[in-house]
């Protein structure tokens, strides 16, 4: 019987570390366990498959007897534009997948997302510019349809949302640490209240708007 791997990926700033904690919680899943002990760790050093994303052929030497269920996550791209300390590069998704499958491992895909405005703010602040074009370079090589995951739905519905997800690895949706992980919503720093909007009057009075107010 083939081992199972869930590959989670998305654009930079879409919640890679958050989802990595969620999918690494289950005791039977070989995932990013050290991240459960720390709020944040650098992907390029600590994610268990980081070196294999850089050189997928090394997967032939990986010990696939460690578990039946595997989880790995990646951002497309990795690094920062113009940085000497953390230079940017775009891992090759298709090469990684092909090497995993050569090891008799079945692969599923999950693509993470976040509000597009927040993504743009986050990427511009940290990466100096939007890196979405580099994300799409890899997304367009995807060999089969992924499951799309919502950052906002995870925070809104928590364990109930996780129960609805069907993947080839088990999900610890009933683990007490789920609520701990989701106790602080990083979106809050980007959100500001709107005191008034013209459409408010429509909800209160039933007024019809024939065009955008």
Report pTM: 0.93
Q: What is the pLDDT of residue 192?
A: 87
φ and ψ at residue 18, rounded to 5 degrees = -60, -55
Look up tokens 């720093």; give the residue: 189
Q: What is the pLDDT of residue 134?
A: 95
Q: What is the pLDDT of residue 194?
A: 82
Report the alpha-carbon distance of residue 175 to residue 25 in Å, rounded.
8
Domains of the chain: 3-205 (3.40.50)
User: 21: buried, middle or exposed (CB in 10 Å: 19+, 13-18, 0-12)?
Assistant: buried
Report the alpha-carbon distance of residue 106 to residue 145 in Å, rounded.
14
Q: What is the pLDDT of residue 199?
A: 76
CA 22 to chain centre: 10
Q: What is the pLDDT of residue 98?
A: 98
Low-confidence ranges of the chain (pLDDT < 50): none
Tell me the pLDDT tens digit for each residue of 33-68: 999 999 999 998 899 999 999 999 999 999 999 999
Q: What is the pLDDT of residue 210?
A: 77
């Amino acid at each position: 019987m083939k081992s199972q791997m869930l590959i989670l990926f998305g654009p930079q700033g879409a919640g890679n570390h958050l989802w990595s904690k969620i999918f690494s919680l289950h005791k039977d899943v070989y995932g990013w366990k050290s991240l459960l002990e720390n709020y944040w760790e650098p992907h390029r050093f600590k994610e268990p498959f980081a070196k294999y994303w850089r050189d997928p052929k090394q997967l032939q030497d990986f010990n696939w007897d460690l578990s039946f269920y595997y989880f790995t996550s990646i951002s497309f791209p990795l690094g920062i534009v113009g940085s000497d300390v953390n230079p940017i590069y775009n891992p090759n998704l298709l090469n990684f997948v092909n090497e995993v499958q050569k090891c008799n491992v079945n692969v599923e895909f999950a693509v993470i997302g976040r509000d597009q405005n927040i993504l743009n703010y986050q990427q511009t602040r940290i990466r100096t510019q939007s890196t979405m074009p580099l994300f799409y370079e890899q997304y367009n090589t995807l060999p089969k349809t992924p499951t799309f995951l919502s950052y906002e739905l995870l925070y809104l519905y928590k364990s109930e949302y996780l129960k609805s997800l069907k993947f080839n690895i088990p999900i610890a949706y009933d683990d007490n640490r789920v609520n701990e992980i989701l106790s602080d919503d990083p979106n809050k720093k980007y959100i500001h209240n709107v005191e008034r909007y013209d459409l408010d009057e429509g909800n209160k009075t039933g007024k019809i708007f024939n065009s955008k107010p």
